[in-house]
Structure 1
Amino acid sequence: MTRAHQVDEKTSARIDELKPTQGALGMEHVREKMRLTSEQPDDRRAAFMDEHALRLVRGPGGTLHVIDHHHWARAWHELGIAVVPVSIACDFNDRDHDAFLAAMREHGWIHPFDAQGNETSVEALPPSIGAMPDDPYLSLAAFVRMAGMFEDSPEFNAKFAWAEYFRERIQGDFASTAGFAKALAQAVAASREDEARELPGFKA
Structure 2
Amino acid sequence: MKTLSIKNIRPTQLTHGLREILRKTQFYESLSGHDLEMAIAEKPVPIVIGPGDASFAIDHHHVATALWRAGIKTMPAVLVADLSWLSYQDFWLSMDDRRWTYPYDTKGHRKSFADMPEHVWELEDDEYRSLAASVRDAGGYEKTTVPLEEFRWADLFRTYLPYPGTDDEFVTIQRQAIKLAKSKIAAGLPGFVGEIPA
Q: Compute the TM-score of the two structures, normalised by the length of structure 2.
A: 0.91
Confirm or deny that 1:17 pairs with 2:8: yes
Secondary structure of 1:12's partner? strand
Which residue of 188, 193, 197 corresponds with 1:198? 188
Listed as ranges, the matches of 1:55-204 within 5 Å are: 55-176=46-167, 178-204=168-194
- Could you tell me how far 1:172 is from its partner in structure 2? 4.0
Secondary structure of 2:151's partner? helix
1:42 is aligned with what amino acid? G
8 A contact 2:102–2:148 mirrored in 1: no
- Could you tell me how far 1:12 is from its partner in structure 2? 1.1
8 A contact 2:135–2:177 mirrored in 1: yes
Aligned-residue sequence identity (percent) comes to 28
Q: What CA distance in whole angstroms lies between the structure 2 residues aligned with 1:174 and 1:38?
A: 27
8 A contact 1:151–1:158 mirrored in 2: no
Q: Indicate how the Cα distance of structure 1 residues 77 and 185 shifts in structure 2: closer, same or farther if over 3 A, else same.
A: same
2:190 is aligned with what amino acid? P
Secondary structure of 2:117's partner? coil
Q: Compute the TM-score of the two structures, normalised by the length of structure 1.
A: 0.88
Q: Indicate how the Cα distance of structure 1 residues 80 and 41 shifts in structure 2: closer, same or farther if over 3 A, else same.
A: closer
After TM superposition, what 4+ stretches of structure 1 lie above 4 angstroms from structure 2? none
Unmatched runs of 5 consecutive residues or more in structure 2: none
8 A contact 1:22–1:112 mirrored in 2: yes
